Chains A and B, each alone.
Chain A
Amino acid sequence: MIETITQGILLGGLYCIFALGLSLMFGVMRLTNIALGDQIIISGFIAIGIASVLQLNIVLIGLALLPCAYVSGYLFQRAVLNPTLSRDPVPSLVVTFGLSIVIQNVLQELFSANPRSLDSGGLNTQSIDLGGGFVIGVLPLIIFATAIACTFGLQMLFSKTSTGRSFRAVSDDREIAELMGLSAKKVYATATGIAFCLIAIAGLFQSMRTTISPADGPSLLLFAFEAVIIGGMGSFWGTFAGALILGITQQIGFMFDPAWGIWFGHLVFIIILFIKPNGLFPKTKG
């Protein structure tokens, strides 16, 4: 049982990285990015493409991916998402839903439906033996440590920096934030740039950990969405806790039957949604 919970916690680390981008964008803009899962997958394919063309190692691929992700997120927000933002959430939902379909079809055209993975240089097969047959994978451990670092970093960014204050200001009251001299459009673009960096990290890890195919995006979105809802919208440590709960629940389900894991997660999600509709640790209103 301890091993199952440990594996669940480590799986939760990956779900946390999936979910942080969603949590950030919702927390700042009240925007639900339906294309998040597909953006994770496209990041994975870009990493695979870079690795196959330039023969770079994982760290260099990550370093190349992050600035590209930030710039593409910034520009995507300015050009596509900002015009959709209003009190009505439907336009942004429709646009990101449409983008999700476009990404899946473009990836199918370019890479076919065959699953692929990123060569992690043996990292995904390395493990640490803790004795008594209890083994922890090195890659899941790295992913979990990254999840803690990202959650801590985002929390610090929000609570200790002027950029974080500007995120909170536009989230609290966009009109008044603009009266303070902020450009909400630039603040939103910065937030999406950071969210896309998290998405790129998620794509990198997902493609190292397992195979990815163009149609995988929606299921990753579902896990991210469940983690955010369980934890509470707009709370990063809440998202972290939600992801861990989801990961542990799925692993417990897998323990009973390999087919039960995913729907065990869905079941707990629905139960928490029913008992606490705002999640376990909500920070944002509405």
Chain B
Amino acid sequence: MSSVVIETHKLNGFYGDAKVLFDIDFRLNEGEVVGVLGANGAGKSSFLKAISGLMKVEPGMITLRGEAIGGSEPGEIVRKGIAMVPEGRRLFPSMTVEENLKMGAFAGRKGRWDINSVYAQFPILKEKRNVPSTSLSGGQQQMVAIGRALMSNPDVLMCDEISLGLAPVVIKDIYDSLPNIVSEGMSVVIIEQDVMVAQRCSQRLYCLQEGRVSLEGASEALTRDQISQAYFGI
């Protein structure tokens, strides 16, 4: 059995006084792709924010290979090997494509990914290396966002709705690149609203509803009815 990389234990999260995550138990194994499904406001992005350090939680609520990391600073989390592709890409608008990619290497982790391997993965970015990131198409911007996260050589890559606002053919291209990315033992968390995409690309699925886990299981084993019920609560 593969080893557990990230685990959450009764994870509770708050925005001010408002509780948005309720007792979430989650597990991510080494080399595994796990999908997290849910409607708008289900708590998917908040869940990723808690893991990445952008939402403060109790230390023991999140562990990385057994080490409590909950509530750590985002910089510390990325240096420990967890990188995030944020919802809406959120590239640095004042920077070129290459400058954006280099920002990902600030954490200083060594490994397979550097500027050349990212360009090998996404050749179009090499052609556009010196253009402002804001001038790229949505799909190309998403490649930059993924490449920027890879530049930190993470053990865990967390992708927050990378299909949002993109054409189906572009979404397919981006998800087709995932097997190559995870081929060397990297674990991936995919946040998605698109049930079919999440089910196709992941080995296990979690469904969130109003900040709680409403369904969990192997992606292949879950039926459409089960997911619909857990997704919409009807």
Chain A interface residues toward B at CB < 8 A = 162, 165-166, 168-169, 171-173, 175-183
Cα-based distance from A22 to B61 in the complex (angstroms): 43
Would you call B94 and A179 a contact (CB within 8 A)?
no
Would you call B95 and A180 a contact (CB within 8 A)?
no
Interface residues of B in 43-81 (CB under 8 A from A): 52-54, 73-75, 78-79
- 4 additional A-B residue pairs with CB within 8 Å, beyond A168-B94, A178-B73, A178-B75: A175-B74, A178-B54, A179-B52, A180-B75
Cα-based distance from A176 to B84 in the complex (angstroms): 9
Q: What chain B residues lie within 8 Å of A176 (beta carbons)?
A: 86, 90, 92
Would you call A181 and B92 a contact (CB within 8 A)?
no
Q: Closest CB of chain B to A108's CB: distance in Å?
A: 42
Q: What chain A residues lie within 8 Å of B78 (beta carbons)?
A: 179-181
B25 in contact (CB, < 8 A): no
Q: What chain A residues lie within 8 Å of B106 (beta carbons)?
A: 162, 166, 180-182
- Contacts A179-B54, A181-B106 given: A172-B75 contact, CB under 8 Å? no
B93 in contact (CB, < 8 A): yes
Cα-based distance from A179 to B152 in the complex (angstroms): 10
B178 in contact (CB, < 8 A): no
Q: Per DSSP, are chain A's interface residues mostly helix, strand or loop, or mixed?
A: helix
Would you call B152 and A180 a contact (CB within 8 A)?
yes
Q: Which of A171, A175, A176, A179 has the most CB of B within 10 A?
A: A179
B102 in contact (CB, < 8 A): yes
Q: Closest CB of chain B to A72's CB: distance in Å?
A: 25
Number of A-B contacts (CB under 8 A): 60
**Contact size range, B:** 20 to 34
A-B contact pairs, 20 of them (CB 8 A): A166-B106, A168-B94, A169-B92, A172-B92, A172-B94, A175-B54, A176-B86, A176-B90, A177-B103, A178-B75, A179-B52, A179-B84, A180-B78, A180-B104, A180-B152, A181-B78, A181-B106, A181-B107, A183-B73, A183-B75
CB contact between A182 and one of B52, B75, B102, B148 (< 8 Å): that residue: B75
Q: Which of A165, A166, A181 has the most CB of B within 10 A?
A: A181
Q: Closest CB of chain A to B226's CB: distance in Å?
A: 34
Q: What chain A residues lie within 8 Å of B148 (beta carbons)?
A: 180
Q: What chain A residues lie within 8 Å of B233 (beta carbons)?
A: none
Q: What chain B residues lie within 8 Å of A165 (beta carbons)?
A: 95, 99, 102-103
Q: What chain B residues lie within 8 Å of A181 (beta carbons)?
A: 74-75, 78-79, 106-108, 152
Cα-based distance from A28 to B104 in the complex (angstroms): 19
Would you call A168 and B75 a contact (CB within 8 A)?
no
Would you call B93 and A172 a contact (CB within 8 A)?
yes
Would you call A168 and B73 a contact (CB within 8 A)?
no
Q: Closest CB of chain A to B59's CB: distance in Å?
A: 18
Q: Mark B88-120, 1 if CB is under 8 A from A, else 0.
A: 001011110001001110111000000000000
